[in-house]
Amino acid sequence: MNKRQVYLDNAATTPMRSEVLEAMLPYFNEEYGNASTLYHLADGAKKALQAARDTMAGILGCDSSEIYFTGCGTESDNWALKGIADAYRDKGRHIITTKIEHHAVLHTCKWLEQHGAEVTYLDVDETGMISLAGLEAAIRPDTILISVMFANNEIGTIEPVRQIGEIARRHGVLFHTDAVQAFGQVPISVDEYRIDMLSASAHKLNGPKGVGLLYVRKGVKLHSFMHGGGQERGRRAGTENVAGIAGFARAASLAAAEMQERIRRESELRNYLITRVLREIPYSRLNGSRRSRLPGNANFSFQFADGETMLIMLDMEGICASSGSACTTGQTEPSHVLTAIGLPEELARGSLRLTLGCETTREEIDYTVDKLKEIVGKLQRMSPLYERIAGPAGPRGSARGGARGRELR
């Protein structure tokens, strides 16, 4: 068994930083009081919650009373959509979202459709970007909510959030953004972008799993999703995960302090990875936008190679990555995101997502590209189609062009 481990799946989750663990530890056995109680023992927990709320508010540029802690990004998305649909049902039942949202939004929309909502799923272009004209045209008098993700979890495309916020505000429609992949990675100001609600999750930014947040602009009527006690100012019941919330705040403040340096470092490494792959691996292409992209995201498709097989072979070399297909009920379905950007099924099935983190090194990228070259080459040579197109000598012996990698805007 290979001992080496290269972790390139930071969009799935991230390792927790030691500073984060340190910030969490006191709330397990020293400051264990329930923040809803009156005695002194709970003072530490109460202070930690308030400090975390202040930290998040400082990062997002809002008031701390607009921050609500939740159990995860999925809960935040569910709450935003279901809470608005319920609270604004007298105004209208129409919601606009996109075809490339995370399932936390898409499956919630499907559920809402079964309960009387009407949902428009916007198309995206070949880079994964929505059309602003298309968004504006989709708004109806009964539209109550626009929910567009800040950045896509598979292809890393960053949506034109500022313009979406302007359009929503101009039409008097609320704007929710799923920023689970973007929070802590790129600067976000809820006022500048006119965001009314925003979802984030700690485990994507070197924080703990099982804690998220929902920003809710003052004045937005949002019905509760979790019913019970009066926690989170009566809007989100359930005893607070104080240790998790303290860890989330520590992770977010570290991410904010180091953001510019991380963006520079990760974009440089990612560009190096993209350049090497497209130059050295025949029949490869980059998925997603080149210009408007998360710093740590690279998503490729390799013709004549299967993504799931690539993953297994990479894993045997100690490399953790992700493919663009989800295995449900034993059948591998190409990802809805890659289908929405117009990739033919073969390319969608041959996709690979590599996502960098704060610990990724250039040497790890070199190791990964070297292994990937071998693996993709092996799989391509096994494909009967590949031989027909590239010729027995491979792409270099082929009379046909197109073997070089390509990238989008």
Q: Which residues are catalytic?
A: 327
| 178 or 266: CB nearest ligand PLP | 178
Report the nearest approach of ligand PLP to the CB of residue 20 (Å): 16
Burial class (CB in 10 A: 0-12, 13-18, 19+), 97: buried
List, as own/partner pairs, every contact residues 111-119 make where C-beta atoms lie below 8 angstroms and the sequence separation is at least 24, other chains included. 111/82, 112/81, 112/82, 112/85, 115/85, 116/89, 117/85, 117/93, 118/93, 118/94, 118/142, 119/94, 119/95
What is the widest separation between alpha-carbon atoms in the chain? 80
Closer residue to ligand PLP (CB): 195 or 379: 195
Q: Where are the alpha helices (DSSP H) in 281-391?
A: 307-316, 336-340, 345-349, 362-382, 384-390
CB of 155 to ligand PLP, least distance (A): 11
297 binds ligand PLP (CB under 6 A): no
How far is the C-alpha of 113 from the C-alpha of 116, rounded, in Å? 5
- Indicate the residue among 104 and 109 with the shorter CB distance to ligand PLP: 104
Binding mask 124-143 for ligand PLP (x = CB under 6 A): --------------------
Strand, coil or helix: 161: helix
In Å, what is the CA distance from 378 to each residue of 188, 225, 354? 43, 50, 20
Residues 196-215 that bind ligand PLP (CB under 6 A): 201, 212
Our CB check for ligand PLP shows the closer of 79 and 304 to be 79
Q: Applying CB under 6 A, which part among 83-91, 92-100, 174-182, 386-394 lies near ligand PLP?
A: 174-182
Binding residues among 53-82 for ligand PLP as defined by CB under 6 A? 72-74, 77
DSSP H helical ranges for 88-131? 103-114
- Minimum CB distance to ligand PLP, residue 111 (Å): 15
Among positions 106, 144, 180, 213, the unique one binding ligand PLP when judged by CB under 6 A? 180
The answer to whether the beta carbons of residues 205 and 212 sit under 8 Å apart is no
Instruction: Using alpha carbons, select from 119, 124, 125 the residue that is nearest to residue 105.
Output: 119
Single out the residue of 20, 144, 149, 356 in contact with ligand PLP (rule: CB under 6 A): 149
Shortest spacing between CB 353 and ligand PLP, in angstroms:
11
CA 204 to chain CA centroid, nearest Å: 8
User: According to the binding rule CB under 6 A, does residue 176 interact with ligand PLP?
Assistant: no
Return all residues near 247 (Cβ < 8 A) that are at least 6 apart: 16, 20, 21, 23, 24, 202, 207, 208, 211
User: Where does this chain touch ligand PLP (CB under 6 A) — which range of 107-115, 175-183, 271-279, 321-329?
Assistant: 175-183
341 contacts 408 by C-beta, under 8 angstroms: no
Q: Which of 82, 93, 102, 270 binds ligand PLP (CB under 6 A)?
A: 102
Q: Which of 178, 196, 232, 306 binds ligand PLP (CB under 6 A)?
A: 178
Q: Which is nearer to ligand PLP, 294 or 372 (CB)?
A: 294
β-pair partners for 198: 177, 215
Q: Using CB under 6 A, list all residues that contact ligand PLP.
A: 72-74, 77, 102, 104, 149, 153, 178, 180-181, 201, 212
